[in-house]
Amino acid sequence: MVKDFQKRGIPIDGIGFQMHIRMDIPNKTIKYTLKKAAETGLQIHLSEVDLIFNKHDDNKGGGIENYKMLTDEIKSSKKI
């Protein structure tokens, strides 16, 4: 979309991200996404980043609460 806007001369200064990241999303996926955005040469803005530490799905009320607080075990997890 950015390349199309640039090709057509539509002004665009940056890309904003509102990210809701589950702890099971690989770091390489997040890194790839941000790298592709940065390669456009535009400013990158992370307006919101949430880390979901419990199992989650997108259905209303979806998800299973495994953790009620952020523990040292979660902080040191390779998944984060």
Measured between its terminal Cα atoms, the distance across the chain in Å is 29
**Confidence (pTM):** 0.63
Span 10-47, pLDDT tens digits: 999 999 999 888 777 888 998 999 999 999 999 999 99
- Residue 58: predicted pLDDT: 67
Average pLDDT over residues 42-65: 78
Strand duo 43-52 + 14-22: pairing: parallel
Span 71-80, pLDDT tens digits: 787 777 655 4
